[in-house]
Structure 1
């Protein structure tokens, strides 16, 4: 009887403990499954975000490649335009040089050609610049001396010569065209520019400097004999000029 009573008491207790153990086991399994599902969900989200970032980066790379290609085409187009422009500018100065060479020089009272403005029977009156012309000229001087933007200065000098022909500053513009070409150096273009001042405007105040710089240019072109002739012309035609002193030094340093 006592054994039956104890069995009656312990059986429900054991059953309850077994149920609790089963419940705990089920809860643990559920939690494990839930954690695995969450992990997979997190992994899937991370994969999606990574894919999205890769797509964005690929799009950015394509955009940058497109911009680079556009810039490459733009640079090439500007280079082509610049080359065509300078071919045109060089042709223009060559035409001017040939035109000047075909014109007779101013004759003095003895009928002999001369570049000396003191001996010239005819001294032209150069048109004086107005405020706008002087401002444009000063801007070009700033490009040359301060900013060292020689290519832009060359373009502006041609524009100035076209807009303000046969003026006092126009002759200066031709001279500075030669100076800039000499600096670059584009010696043939420099020779042509200085020749225009030296022959067409032989009575202008810049003529002596132009003849001297023409001699320097010819010397750099390895035309030594012609260079000496130009220096001697400075001494003969402009003996009192600053250029004459420079020409003497050149001749003294390059004897023979």
Structure 2
């Protein structure tokens, strides 16, 4: 701001002095070439001020855009939390696995609703459920960094649990919210590659598109969006992917 004020002051001085110089051309002996040079300097300074003003306005626009994007991330995360809770309450049947059934708990909200490497996954013990619920509660409380750490501890302690795929998905969501697209890519790919058939695979595929778009990888982003639409045509993720594609430049 001080730089802009300095320039403005200089322009004002030149603006006020230029007419005086021209008026004094005959009385004080100032040459017309000096007066012309003064006017040229004034015009140059005005152009520079205009350019600087344009740069400031562009920077302000980018800042506002970044703030809006960050807000959208929080809104998107809140929306997905609400949708997950609604789906959990509406679900009438528990998820079935080879080793038995796992009841979908309102406190947990996120138990997979489709067969997920059933023969290899451990059932959700009381300890695992409590750890997962505690991490998930941190998300609802918007304590995102603490939630991230809690889910990291969960997947480390329970690498093959029926709740592990959900945990990797939420780690991806949290990474997006906290601005770490690289980790988001890793977490969402883990859901897809290591938990085939998981109910979060469609959402993870869609989120891979968003993460790549935010990183400037538009070609990969479009590929993931199209993959979401083709592989999960009836999912909510497919609708979101379609809308996102339509709004991409």
TM-score (norm 2): 0.50
Select the residue among 233, 245, 254 that pairs with 2:248: 254
- Name 2:178's counterpart in structure 1: 184
C-alpha offsets along residues 202-249 of structure 1, whole Å, 9 cap, x if unaligned? 311011000101111100001101000001111121112111111111
TM-score (norm 1): 0.49
Q: Tell me the distance in 2 between the aligned counterparts of 1:195 and 1:124.
A: 16
- Name 1:89's counterpart in structure 2: none
CA shift for structure 1 position 131: 2.1
1:215-254 equivalences in 2 (<5 Å)? 215-254=209-248
C-alpha offsets along residues 119-140 of structure 1, whole Å, 9 cap, x if unaligned? xxx9621433122211211110
Select the residue among 186, 206, 209 that pairs with 2:203: 209
Q: Tell me the distance in 2 between the aligned counterparts of 1:201 and 1:244.
A: 19
Q: Tell me the distance in 1 between the aligned counterparts of 2:124 and 2:159.
A: 11
Q: Tell me the distance in 2 between the aligned counterparts of 1:165 and 1:174.
A: 10
Looking at secondary structure, tell me which structure has more helix per residue. Answer: 1
Q: Tell me the distance in 1 between the aligned counterparts of 2:203 and 2:226.
A: 13
Kindly indicate whether residue 125 of structure 2 is the aligned counterpart of residue 130 of structure 1: yes
CA shift for structure 1 position 183: 0.3
Aligned residues: 133
Q: Tell me the distance in 2 between the aligned counterparts of 1:144 and 1:188.
A: 20
CA RMSD for the aligned pairs?
Answer: 1.7
- Name 1:198's counterpart in structure 2: 192
After superposing on structure 2, the runs of 4+ consecutive aligned residues of structure 1 that deviate more than 6 Å are: none
Q: Tell me the distance in 1 between the aligned counterparts of 2:158 and 2:217.
A: 33
Q: Tell me the distance in 2 between the aligned counterparts of 1:137 and 1:199.
A: 21
- Name 2:140's counterpart in structure 1: 145
Q: Tell me the distance in 2 between the aligned counterparts of 1:134 and 1:194.
A: 22
- Name 1:14's counterpart in structure 2: none
1:1-256 equivalences in 2 (<5 Å)? 124-125=117-118, 126-146=121-141, 148-254=142-248
CA shift for structure 1 position 149: 2.0
Larger radius of gyration: 1
Greater RCO structure (CA 8 Å; 6+ sep):
1
CA shift for structure 1 position 199: 2.2
Unmatched runs of 5 consecutive residues or more in structure 1: 1-121
Q: Tell me the distance in 2 between the aligned counterparts of 1:221 and 1:199.
A: 21
The more displaced of 170-179 and 158-167 is: 158-167
Task: Check 1:140–1:128 CA distance in 2 against 1; reply closer, same or farther (3 A cut).
Answer: same
CA shift for structure 1 position 254: 2.0
Task: Check 1:123–1:142 CA distance in 2 against 1; reply closer, same or farther (3 A cut).
Answer: closer
Q: Tell me the distance in 2 between the aligned counterparts of 1:183 and 1:123.
A: 27
CA shift for structure 1 position 175: 0.5
Task: Provide the secondary structure at the position in 2 that maps to 1:132.
Answer: helix
